[in-house]
A and B are shown apart, each in its own frame.
Chain A
């Protein structure tokens, strides 16, 4: 398969859409996010040589949200002794994916009567 010359990083909207589309089933949640973040556009969409008129603007990595940074601080306090700085940075990126995913979940219209899909038995 043709490969794009360099991986591009999707913006947030594309990222969230991709999370939904990735279908990376076997590798579970965090990998879904991880893969979604690195999915490139279809190979035809990325020019193989510079073309000033057609080439998309260089994509910049999405900034990590303040919420994710704050959550990462909790992880550092609780589990910092188990994590290297690089691992903590990776955790922060995963947290950011979760923050964005949570926003998407809360955007979905639910009514007060929509119960969780499990039943408690007394």
Chain B
């Protein structure tokens, strides 16, 4: 029987124990499977537990390691994937009733790559139906029920990667793969109190992942810490013949000692803290103070005045309507859980082609504007979200009146394909986590991870445990 504390250790520490044969991959995997089965339902975090195949992979890893064939830091480490990632050993439901029996006969590229690295796939994790593409406005937007944050189960774990957020936070798996079209890694990372890395568009192949928006979708890691995220990213990044958008650049990672290197120039945009919750603001300011010496801060930086919101709406709306046109036209959206999702797609079928193209044309000047900002700064800092998690019993628009996160950093980052890292930085209202985000230029993941590891070497918010039963 493995001690509970082991389930909350970072990947690097788990790997050291596994390599030293102080932790058995089979025993640890069994512990994760037990927790997924026992605690997963408490948070509506799990769709399918893959006990049989996971144990087979764990036994293989244990045998290889015993035989001196150690593959690296992920060898024998259990994980879960958001249930929009295709796997041949389990249904891939996309979180939605119309697809709850969907089967694929292949594994997504990320799953293949993690298998090559020796990681052990334990579960398909819950998500907002169709990754939120039909416009949900309530936490209860999945056939598995609302994702619940382990910090306070009256509140949402965030979306659309609800299961990965809750599962990592509750120590059901050490890391998970989430996806983001516009905020779906960062938001559940913030609301669940875990670390999430949204990679640069194209850094990670999306082959085998449900498409919502071909020009915005990204897969990325959610884990205990920034170091863990980088370890996972190094395993999954790189070119893929099955995905034309996949970049040839790849990502290699070795943890660096914090000392040395010039301080990173950080921009805090005007308006990011003025109207957020007081605890969110206070924790953000403490985070910035904590990084003294590692960063040089410029405040009140003007945000480029471009139609970020309308552009992301037109693109996700049009691409999402096309991706699910069969479902919409057949009227099968009425099988979705959230009432808004049952009609949200119909309006999007009428987005004019000119609006979509106009939005796509604007992405070049948008990228230019962001590139200009990044000539003066290495990263942009802001609270990841202006509030703590939403309660599960209200529509989003009915909670937290008067709160504004200021400039649309998440839509802008996604429109420009930029990476971002969300770091837990304290607790706010109702004992719920708050979070700081750093966003950098394309392919600046190394700098972001440097910021994250520097912050997490000086604080322990990423190691705090929610009151898991």
Chain A residues packing against B (C-beta within 8 Å): 1-4, 7, 16, 18-46, 71, 74-75, 78-79, 81-83, 87-88, 90-91, 94-95, 97-98, 100-102, 104-108, 110, 114-118, 121
Contact = CB atoms under 8 A, between A and B. Distances in A.
Contacts of A23: 183, 386, 405-411
B187 A91 contact: no
Contact of B408 (A22, A74, A82): A22
A31 B309 contact: no
A105 B310 CA distance: 7
Interface string B240-278: 000010000000000000000000000000010001010
Contacts of B404: 18, 21-22, 39, 42
A45 B293 CA distance: 38
Contact of B277 (A1, A21, A38, A116): A1
Given A1-B277, A1-B402, A87-B342, A29 B316 contact: yes
Contact of A24 (B183, B311, B349, B357): B183
6 contacts: A20-B309, A21-B404, A28-B135, A30-B344, A87-B342, A117-B361
A117 B397 contact: no
Contact of A117 (B351, B367, B386): B367
A32 B363 CA distance: 19
Contact of B135 (A30, A81, A118): A30
A31 B307 contact: no
Nearest to B188: A26
A26 B159 contact: yes
B186 interface: yes
B417 to A, nearest CB: 9
Interface stretch (B88-96, B126-134, B373-381): B126-134
Nearest to A4: B401
A53 to B, nearest CB: 21
A116 B135 contact: no
B181 to A, nearest CB: 6
B80 interface: no
A62 to B, nearest CB: 15
B459 interface: no
Contacts of A81: 331
A34 to B, nearest CB: 5
A94 B135 contact: yes
A21 B342 CA distance: 26
Contact of B363 (A46, A91, A117): A117
In the A-B complex, the 9 residue pairs with the smallest Cβ-Cβ separation, listed nearest first, are A25-B183, A30-B135, A101-B310, A82-B331, A38-B397, A117-B363, A29-B313, A25-B410, A116-B360
Contacts of B396: 24, 27, 31, 35
B391 interface: no
B194 to A, nearest CB: 15
B322 to A, nearest CB: 13
Contact of A34 (B137, B277, B406): B137
Contacts of B435: none
Nearest to A38: B397
Query: Chain B CB within 10 Å — which of A32, A39, A114 has the most?
Result: A32
Contact of A29 (B186, B312, B357, B429): B312
B180 to A, nearest CB: 8
Contacts of A20: 307-310, 408, 411
Contacts of B349: 75, 78-79
Given A40-B402, A82-B346, A87-B342, 20 more contacts: A3-B401, A21-B406, A25-B182, A26-B182, A28-B181, A28-B313, A30-B135, A32-B313, A71-B350, A79-B328, A79-B349, A91-B343, A94-B348, A98-B348, A101-B314, A101-B355, A104-B307, A105-B359, A116-B360, A116-B361
A35 B317 CA distance: 16
Nearest to B159: A26
Contacts of B186: 25
B400 interface: yes
A82 B410 CA distance: 34
B34 interface: no
A2 B310 CA distance: 30
Interface string B305-338: 0111111111011001000000011010110000
A102 B180 CA distance: 24
A81 B343 CA distance: 12
A30 B408 CA distance: 16
Given A87-B342, A101-B310, A110 B361 contact: yes
A18 B405 CA distance: 10
Given A28-B182, A105-B359, A98 B401 contact: no
A31 B402 contact: no
A105 B405 contact: no
B155 interface: no
Contact of B403 (A1, A25, A71, A117): A1
